A and B are shown apart, each in its own frame.
Chain A
Amino acid sequence: MGTINFGIDLGTTNSGIAKFTNGKVTIYKNPVGFSDTLPSIVAYKKGRIFIGDKARELLKATHLDVFSSFKRKMGTEHLYHIADTQEQKSPGELSAMILKELQSFVQDEKPQAIVITIPASFDTVQSNATKKAGLLAGFQQVVLLQEPIAACLAYANSQEQDQTQEKNWLVYDFGGGTFDVALVKINERELKITDHEGNNFLGGVDLDHLVIEQLFVPKIEEVLQEQNLFKKLITKENNFYAKLYYELLYKAEEIKKELSVKEVIHTELELNDGDHYIDFEISRTQFNKVISPKVDETIVLIQKLLEDNQKTSNDIERIILVGGTTYIPYIREYLRQVFGIMVDHSIDPTTAVMVGAAYFAGTKEIHADLIEINSDIQNSENQSKNSIDLKLIYEVNTQDNEELLVGNVLGDFDGFYRIIRKDGGFDTGLMSFKDKFSEFVKILPKQKNQFTVSVFNQNQQLVFEDNNVAINHGIYNISGQPLPNDICLEIDDNFGGTFLERIFKKNDILPLTKTIYKTTSKNFNVDVNDKLIINILEGKNGTFPASNMSIGYIEINSKDFPMNLLKGMDIELKFSMSESRDLSVAVYINSIDFEKKEVFNPHTKNINRKKFDEDIDTVIDAIENELSYVNTIDEADPEDISVLVQFKKIKDELFNIKFDLIEVDEDDQSERIFQLDERKRRALQTYDQIVRFRDVIYEIELYKNTKAEAESSLEEATARQKEQFQKIIKSEKVFLESNEKALIKRKTKELEQLCSDIFYQKEESYGSLYYYYKYRDLDEYNNPKKASKLIASGDKAMENNNFKEVKFIIHELYDLLKVKPKDPYEDTNGNLGLK
């Protein structure tokens, strides 16, 4: 036999849904905005139905067709007239809409049976009306549960309780707009409400008004030289006061939250677009004093309840708290002070009722026939949710902020559609339509926007759903020019070489703009000709920089700087590429307030001969280094011969280019130099193709070994070092697949340094390091005599395994060294000057 499992708190101001599974309760979040609760408000506006947060917005705007607090009218003959549709709705029908909306929070199944909570004050008629609302919402089985009982269940199930003894609990429910208190009897067999009291017009919002009136208004009146400001705010005398009222209400809510955790808070109010800034310092004591009259009102109601039932606080085991207002520490403390009994606030008071309802639902059996219906529904849902033939038409790619989505139903149809963006920032609400609908959906820029389109029949039952509607923004556009190649910036690696970092990606649509931030990789002295080189190339990210075509080249001489520029300073680089592919580069160095801008035209190429030469020399050196491992090609491993032959050919070609370059005049920017550039690039591309794969594989191998070594030493690492390890390997997939050896090498180096740090945490590790200093030539020390003495003490310490002493001696010897050993983890100075 199955159980109901789903529980709903159908509140006057807020509602929510939770589910019991395997002894635990899960609260479902609203897929729009992700909050735990849904305001119990329904609004109609121009054929659209809003339920929840957006309806609440319209309520504040005193819109005509907004309905709230309809729970208070449950079971009455009252009918709400909707001007927009000329319909009439009963409180039960509006409640059914809330219940249906809550159902939509549950994405993976469709609950058939439900437990719905009702106030302790509800009579039979009101209870029946709630049950009817549940059935109207499409639930096949509805079980009612009183709110205070639900709250008790939530508290009782969250802790170990001795159930053998009969006891009384007080359920103190202070919500946003209402206050209720119930006396509940608990024994082995049952939970029963003995009696209850309440005030339908006392809630958290009254406390906010007191804060506005007594803590904010006096100071504002002083600044604005006004009188009767509170009255003007409450009556929203004109737009200025209405605006100020909402701002103060928001601030009052914020300070209420903040004062729950802090003793004193500061808040600031800006008036008339910055004409005045008013500072408020509010202490918890001030706040408590201000709200105390309203809290006293709740105390009077509790005392009345106890007296009416011939009870004293000695008869009450604990007070349990429900409703968001009970977060206020003063309420908790004051209750404890007045009644001298335990005040239990161990669970979230805003969701206690729905959690309790779910616990109850977990024990309540579901009707046997519903189990069958349920499995039928699930089977049919697995096959297809859609019982109408609807065709959706929309552009998959857009550059606009809104995109038209059209739905066409084959055949006659009358119902509602609803479109929700999956990030939670867009919801059309329920919109009525006949046969066809069209809606401009809002698009988030530079994202894949995913939407769910749902269609409901007249009874608001789901007849169609498509949650795979995706609209890409800014990715492709038929009207724009796509980039044929990556556009990259050449930057220094930490090892004396350079690599490419992508600025714009191939197929990105022009025009493009991007700002990137780099740091200086060497010191720049204003008295020396240090150069900062910004080289922008067109070519594939992950290839050898010099094998690509330079499309923008800026060389900044340090003599132009207003002062010395140190290594590690920020460089801001702003790149823009127009539709005609003009590239503009703006360089800004904040620390020396230096700015330079240049625009490069794609039709005029500028080749820097010095850089041209250097690029060639770097590769010639690298090839010579490779060739130096074999004396003659004939001696080489047969597998390597073809590679060595290719190296030789590339080297010869590069030498030829160098010679040809000599013949070109310094200022020649004619075809000849471009031909040479083309030849250079082709030769370097061949070189890159040969070595890149091999080098990257080698670096990956090295990284993996170092990672394994670091992993094995993690047992001895501190928590911070473990965290550092996770940080290094975090984006492992990205850098291992980057095809960029410098990036992988940098990570290997970071791991090596981490291993070393872990190793030298133990003092005995200094034993081996000691010999590095002991066996040095004494002349390498500033004071050989002192060094000799230190070594003698070091030997003794080593004999006695006194590693603490050894460590101290190493430090002393280090200080004496004339030339300090190089830090193996220190970055090499860069050539270009930026990394």
Chain B
Amino acid sequence: MLQIINQIFEIEKKSSDQSISIFERNFERIHHELQEMGYTVSNPLGKSYDARDTSVEANIVGNSSNPIITKVLKPAIFQNDGTGMILLQKGIVIAE
């Protein structure tokens, strides 16, 4: 399942890079279905890098005092297994 979510994430990213908006509803639907299955996909793009956030593994570029996440190679994925949330996949990001 994680691989499928990663692929969806990449397709979504490519669509947005190419300004293709016709899949918007389809992505919304996919995320809805994923949520129904207990998955939450977190895309931290644009957020400040926070060393306390263990849901991502960051590669820090440059010497900024407040690095911003500028690229997300893999999203963070959580799953609610019925008893609570669990981090299933760490996000892989670049912060600069």
Residues of A at the B interface (CB closer than 8 Å) are 32-34, 45, 48, 50, 53-54, 57-58, 60-61, 236, 239, 242-243, 246-247, 249-250, 270, 273-274, 277, 422-429, 442, 444, 447-448, 450, 515, 517, 570, 572, 588, 590
Contact = CB atoms under 8 A, between A and B. Distances in A.
Interface string B29-71: 1001000000010000000001111110111111000000011
Contacts of A270: 14, 17
Contacts of B61: 61, 236, 239, 242-243, 246
A424 B55 contact: yes
Contact of A34 (B62, B84, B86): B86
Nearest to A34: B87
29 contacts: A33-B54, A53-B54, A53-B57, A54-B52, A57-B57, A61-B59, A61-B60, A61-B61, A239-B61, A242-B62, A247-B71, A247-B94, A274-B14, A274-B17, A277-B14, A424-B87, A425-B55, A425-B76, A426-B53, A426-B54, A428-B52, A429-B51, A429-B52, A442-B52, A444-B40, A447-B80, A515-B28, A572-B29, A590-B25
A58 B86 contact: no
A427 B84 CA distance: 17
Given A57-B51, A239-B96, A424 B71 contact: no
B74 to A, nearest CB: 8
B54 A32 contact: yes
Contacts of A515: 28, 32
Given A33-B90, A426-B54, A448 B84 contact: yes
A525 B73 CA distance: 47
A246 B94 contact: yes
Among B54, B78, B92, find the residue whose CB has the most chain A CB atoms closer than 10 A. B54
A422 B54 contact: no
Q: Which 3 A-B pairs have the closest CB atoms?
A: A274-B17, A61-B60, A425-B55
A425 B96 contact: no
Contacts of B85: 422-423, 425, 444, 447
Given A423-B78, A424-B86, A246 B59 contact: yes
Nearest to B33: A517
Given A57-B51, A239-B62, A444-B78, A425 B87 contact: yes
Dominant secondary structure of chain A at its interface with chain B: mixed
A60 B59 contact: yes
Given A34-B87, A444-B78, A425 B60 contact: no
A58 B58 CA distance: 9
B5 to A, nearest CB: 15
Contacts of B54: 32-33, 53-54, 424-427
Given A424-B55, A442-B52, A444-B85, A243 B17 contact: no
A81 to B, nearest CB: 20
Contacts of B62: 239, 242
Given A274-B14, A423-B87, A424-B87, 10 more contacts: A34-B87, A57-B59, A58-B51, A61-B61, A242-B62, A246-B94, A250-B59, A442-B53, A444-B85, A448-B84
Contact of A426 (B55, B90, B92): B55
B56 to A, nearest CB: 9
Nearest to A236: B61
B18 interface: yes
Contact of B53 (A273, A425, A517): A425
A529 B2 CA distance: 46
A426 B76 CA distance: 12
A246 B70 CA distance: 13
B24 to A, nearest CB: 11
A764 to B, nearest CB: 41
A104 to B, nearest CB: 14
A277 B17 CA distance: 11
Among A34, A53, A423, find the residue whose CB has the most chain B CB atoms closer than 10 A. A423
A699 to B, nearest CB: 25
Contacts of B51: 45, 48, 50, 54, 57-58, 429
A274 B50 contact: no
Contact of B17 (A54, A273, A422): A273
Contacts of A249: 59
Contacts of B84: 422-423, 448, 450
Nearest to A45: B51
A422 B62 CA distance: 32
Contacts of B17: 270, 273-274
B39 to A, nearest CB: 13
Contacts of A448: 84
Contacts of A424: 54-55, 86-87
A23 to B, nearest CB: 29
A588 B71 contact: no
B55 to A, nearest CB: 3
A616 B18 CA distance: 55
B95 to A, nearest CB: 8
Contacts of B60: 57-58, 60-61
A426 B17 CA distance: 30
A32 B55 CA distance: 9
A242 B61 CA distance: 6
B86 A423 contact: yes
A239 B63 CA distance: 9
B25 to A, nearest CB: 7
A277 B51 CA distance: 31
Nearest to B13: A270
Contacts of A423: 78, 84-87
Contacts of B76: 425
A450 B17 CA distance: 36
A138 B17 CA distance: 53
B23 to A, nearest CB: 12
B78 A588 contact: no
A425 B57 contact: no
A427 B62 CA distance: 24
Contacts of B55: 424-426
B27 to A, nearest CB: 12
Nearest to A445: B40
A426 B25 contact: no
B75 to A, nearest CB: 12
Nearest to A515: B32
Nearest to B51: A54
Nearest to A420: B54
Contacts of A61: 59-61
A669 B59 CA distance: 64
A570 to B, nearest CB: 8
A346 to B, nearest CB: 26
A782 B17 CA distance: 62
Contacts of A53: 54, 57, 90
Among B14, B40, B87, B96, find the residue whose CB has the most chain A CB atoms closer than 10 A. B87
